[in-house]
Amino acid sequence: MHQDSTTLEIITRGQGLYEFTGGVCSWLDTVGMTQGLLTVFCRHTSASLTIQENADPDVMHDLQSFFRALVREGPSLYRHAQEGPDDMPAHIRSVLTDVSLSLPVIDAQAVLGTWQGLYLFEHRAHTQRREVVLHVMGS
Amino acid sequence: MHQDSTTLEIITRGQGLYEFTGGVCSWLDTVGMTQGLLTVFCRHTSASLTIQENADPDVMHDLQSFFRALVREGPSLYRHAQEGPDDMPAHIRSVLTDVSLSLPVIDAQAVLGTWQGLYLFEHRAHTQRREVVLHVMGS
Amino acid sequence: MHQDSTTLEIITRGQGLYEFTGGVCSWLDTVGMTQGLLTVFCRHTSASLTIQENADPDVMHDLQSFFRALVREGPSLYRHAQEGPDDMPAHIRSVLTDVSLSLPVIDAQAVLGTWQGLYLFEHRAHTQRREVVLHVMGS
């Protein structure tokens, strides 16, 4: 049994979903873990994680539209608005999605299904430098 | 320290919540882990996981009604609709619930509360064969 | 590699977000784990977990308002209502947030970002005694 960890930096340029499946799989290859547990953790409260279909970009478009309509931006809607109209909606959208994900590793690969990709869901309007911590434990 | 994993197959027949707590506990019994961490991972983007009350079936009915009203099905609502009106709503409902769950194992049992059951939340209208990966690590 | 676990008891007095980051960090200090994986698990179906900004109390206020508006309380809205108007909304709000969280531990600390705090999200109106299980595994 051994473990390893790293931090991925993802630069985001506005609201949207940024796939980072490739970065996770590449790192996992370098660690050389045959069986174990991979954890993905987002160190922010206005960006989050999700796993979704990575075949059709329309899925990302529709996801964003849905969250934009569900969690409205508006100056009178929230008390917490120091950083602009996208501030509090970003926190709420983060709560509705994921901050951590756990993926079993079998035969040296994360057990993602055929259509599953890992995404950072950026909820802020302006450029951000995001940190996603990866940790794996196993043998 | 050792680890083990398996894949549960769950056949779903339409939208709804399918409990699989029994399948998880049975498998955990065969593994013989006293203390550790159990991970449950859903390999799909149109079905998801949740833990909810398994005493009153009305909870499942109300949950489904809520998600049906929150994430509408309609031909003009989404770009991604190749597979029918339940296609994109299924993705969104998956994002709003869980793709992975982590349960500590203590005294050879997952630490589920009295009323907690593990559910596969099927969001597609037609029969599906779903895969849920279980992984446990501990001693 | 070793592991440890404990149960935090949190008394809640009505709906709202109760921070317990301090309790988790204190326990982690006593365990003395340098690198590993921390799991936080909520043993209830009408209270849940989330990680959010712990600098401005307005974030908690706005979060609560959002969930109150999104998941309405009303006698005619749900079949499952034996325990009052907050019963079924509590289950739904739990499903929309988290029951388990996974946090890598590096340099003897959970890798929480600068603004991230761990919260128990209480969805019931009356006083409750809640159990949150902590488990850590590593070296």
Amino acid sitting at position B80: H
pLDDT digits (tens, 9 = 90+) for B67-78: 999 999 987 999
A91-94, long-range: CB < 8 A, 24+ apart: A91/A45, A91/A46, A91/A123, A91/C52, A91/C53, A91/C59, A91/C62, A91/C63, A92/C62, A92/C63, A92/C66, A93/A48, A93/A67, A93/A121, A93/A123, A94/A44, A94/A45, A94/A46, A94/A47, A94/A48, A94/A121, A94/A123, A94/C52
Given a cut of 90, is residue B87 above it in pLDDT? yes
Residues of A in contact with B79 (CB under 8 A): 58, 61-62
Does residue C83 belong to the interface with chain B, where contact is any CB pair within 8 Å? no
Given a cut of 90, is residue B52 above it in pLDDT? yes
pLDDT at A135: 98
ipTM above 0.90, yes or no: yes
Mean pLDDT, rounded, of chain A: 97
Question: Which alpha helices (DSSP H) does C10-79 contain, by range?
Answer: 21-31, 57-70
pLDDT-derived band at C56 (thresholds 50, 70, 90) equals very high
Contact: A138, B3; criterion CB under 8 Å: yes
Mean pLDDT, rounded, of chain B: 97
Q: Kindly identify which residue of chain B lies nearest to residue A61, measuring between CA atoms.
A: B79
Q: Mean per-residue pLDDT for A74-93?
A: 94
pLDDT-derived band at A4 (thresholds 50, 70, 90) equals very high
Cα distance between residue B135 and residue B128, in whole Å = 23
Of C43, C94, C100, the CB nearest to B102: C100
Q: Is residue C123 exposed (0-12), middle (13-18) or buried (19+ Cβ within 10 Å)?
A: buried
In this structure, the number of other CB atoms found within 10 A of the CB of residue A111 comes to: 19
pLDDT digits (tens, 9 = 90+) for C115-139: 999 999 999 999 999 999 999 999 9
Q: Please, which residues have CB within 8 angstroms of residue A95's CB and are 6 or more apart in sequence? A: C50, C52, C63, C97
pLDDT at B100: 98
Of B3, B39, B44, the CB nearest to A102: B39
pLDDT digits (tens, 9 = 90+) for A12-64: 999 999 999 999 999 999 999 999 999 999 999 999 999 999 999 999 999 99
pLDDT-derived band at B119 (thresholds 50, 70, 90) equals very high
Does residue B92 belong to the interface with chain A, where contact is any CB pair within 8 Å? yes
Cα distance between residue B93 and residue A96, in whole Å = 11
SS3 of residue A7 by DSSP: strand
In this structure, the number of other CB atoms found within 10 A of the CB of residue C131 comes to: 15
Amino acid sitting at position B107: D
Q: Mean per-residue pLDDT for B122-134?
A: 98
Q: pTM score, two decimals?
A: 0.98
pLDDT-derived band at A80 (thresholds 50, 70, 90) equals very high
Q: Is residue C16 exposed (0-12), middle (13-18) or buried (19+ Cβ within 10 Å)?
A: middle
pLDDT-derived band at C17 (thresholds 50, 70, 90) equals very high
Distance (Å) of CA A69 to CA B71, B97, C73: 11, 18, 21
Tokens 């761990």, residue? C118
Q: Mean per-residue pLDDT for C23-45?
A: 98
In this structure, the number of other CB atoms found within 10 A of the CB of residue C22 comes to: 10
pLDDT digits (tens, 9 = 90+) for C89-117: 999 999 999 999 999 999 999 999 999 99
Task: Kindly state the percentage of chain C with pLDDT values over 70.
Answer: 100
Q: Kindly identify which residue of chain B lies nearest to residue A49, measuring between CA atoms.
A: B95
- Mind telling me how many Å the CA of B103 is from chain A's nearest CA? 11
pLDDT at A75: 80
Structure tokens at B133: 């990966």
pLDDT at C24: 98
Helix axes A87-96, A57-70, angle to 10 degrees: 120
To the nearest 10°, the Cα dihedral for A88, A92, A97, A100? 70
pLDDT at C73: 96
Amino acid sitting at position A44: H
